[in-house]
Structure 1
Amino acid sequence: MTNKPDRSGPCILAGFALAAMIACTTPSASAHEANKRVADANALATTDSTSRPQPQAARRSVARVEKGPYYVDFRARTAASWGHAFVWYGKTSEKAVEVAGLTPAGDTLAYVLGHITFVPSETGASYGDLDPEYLTASYRVYLNEADAKRVFAYIKKLQASSPVWNAETTNCTGFIGDIAEFMGLKVPYRWQRPENFVNSLKDMNGGRQMVRLSAE
């Protein structure tokens, strides 16, 4: 009986060598999955950055305030008591102003008596009306020329038809309230402090700066 050489040893060694080569050249399943996740994440980030809208340069919006050639400025100032409400009016391009308001004529006695009865009035500028240091509130409204003529004429008429002053009825806030109402503005409760009245007048009209009167 002839003995055949045992070749199982070399075959086993060849198998181990082949397995080692495959292990060195083929990445493991876990490494392959990790690489795939990184690639997918990079692709997603690239797509997201290109598809996401880029912020636009901020635009500066310049608020344009409409102004007319004439104005009426509702104003309040400090005084020895509650304060005083009055109006400035005139031409926007000029420094000179007209002043209208309702005050008791005379001294302190007239003011005191005006709390219990009617006393003679003054309807022009009073002490402190032209001094900015006494100003506590202001609301300026602009007008075109045609409307300014009508409003200014109404102010003159109101001055001429307001011969008396009384703290409870015919007072300064009521006087400028009549002017505001003639101009078509919303008018707050009139019997309050002048500063509060002017600020409320401005708030109720949304700070509106241009007024156009309705046709006669």
Structure 2
Amino acid sequence: METRTGSERSIPHKREIHKRTADANALASGEAPIESKPARQSTRKPGSGSAKGPYYVDFRARTAASWGHAFVWYGKTSERAVEVAGLTPAGDTLPYIIGHLTWVPSETGASYGDLDPQYLTASYRVYLNEPDAKKAFAYIKKLQASSPVWNAETTNCNAFIGSIASFLGLKTPVRWKRPEDYVNSLKEMNGGRQMVQLAAEQ
């Protein structure tokens, strides 16, 4: 659900890339600070949803020239580096227009604006333990490798992050929403729970 102008598709200056990455990394580390003191023993029941694990998947939405774009950040809470995955049409405006009629080639990495905090419109972050994170991150990379096409109605950005949410055991809304509404609905449908645990057979 994204279109980009020619200027947006041009390769930014290296310093601008470094600045955007630094901003994103600072935001990632700011949203999940590292604990410097030994944690107190929790009195909450398992699955209460407030505990935070060492790894995360962050479902995000941002502004775009059209309806917006949904994507995920994922990584380790103690590290500034973030990985980005999302589904967009490959190319400029024409593939986006054609993608409303049929399938067009896709891109599944970071797109323009994904690392810019000022474009963020919604975010829902969940945390995982290390064994589950390894499975989840492997699934995301597999999904990227097996998503060669984009279509506005079917294989769109909401459907892409919805597949990730389903793998994590989260309830998902219908994909025909604005990305901002989709991410907010995803959070609401799951009660804002923060900790997720994969099924044993996954």
| 1:53-94 Cα deviation digits (max 9, x unpaired) | xxxxxxxxxxx9411000000000000000000000000001
Partner of 2:180: 195
Note the alpha carbon deviations across 1:106-133, whole angstroms, 9 max, x for none: 1111111111111100000000000010
- 1:215 and 2:200 correspond: yes
Q: Deviations over 1:133-158 (max 9, x none)?
A: 00000000000000000000000000
Question: Which amino acid letter does the alignment assign opposite residue 198 of structure 1?
Answer: V
Give the alignment partner of residue 101 of structure 1, picking from 61, 82, 86. Answer: 86
- What is the match of residue 59 of structure 1? none
Q: Give the partner amino acid of 1:152.
A: F
- 2:81 and 2:97 map into 1 onto residues whose CA distance is 33
Q: Residue in 1 aligned with 2:72?
A: 87
Q: Take 2:96 and 2:165, find their aligned partners in 1: how far apart are those partners?
A: 25
In the alignment, structure 1 residue 132 sits paired with structure 2 residue 97: no
- Whole-angstrom CA distance in 1 between matches of 2:137 and 2:172: 19
Q: 2:50, 2:193 within 8 Å by CA — same for their partners in 1?
A: no
Larger Rg: 1
Counterpart of 1:72 in structure 2 is 57
Alignment partner, residue 175 of structure 1: 160
Query: Does the 8 Å CA contact 2:61/2:71 hold for their aligned counterparts?
Result: yes
Return the letter of the residue paired with 1:69: P
**Equivalent residue pairs, number:** 154
CA deviation profile, 1:160-215 (whole Å, cap 9, x unmatched): 00000000110000000000000000111111110000000000000000001110
Tell me what 2:100 maps to: 115
Structure 2 unpaired stretches of 5+: 1-48
**TM-score computed with the length of structure 1 as normaliser:** 0.70
Return the alpha-carbon distance in structure 2 between the equivalents of residues 173 and 84 of structure 1. Answer: 8
Pairwise CA RMSD: 1.3
Partners of 2:50 and 2:170 lie apart in 1 by 18
Tell me whether 1:149 sits opposite 2:134 in the alignment: yes
Which amino acid is the alignment partner of residue 195 of structure 1?
Answer: E
Q: 1:186 aligns with which of 168, 171, 191?
A: 171
SS in 2 for 1:136: strand
- 2:106 partner SS: strand
Q: Secondary structure at the match of 2:75?
A: strand
Identity %: 83
What SS does the aligned partner of 1:75 have?
strand
Which TM-score applies when normalising by structure 2? 0.75
Letter in 2 for 1:187: T
Q: Secondary structure at the match of 2:143?
A: helix
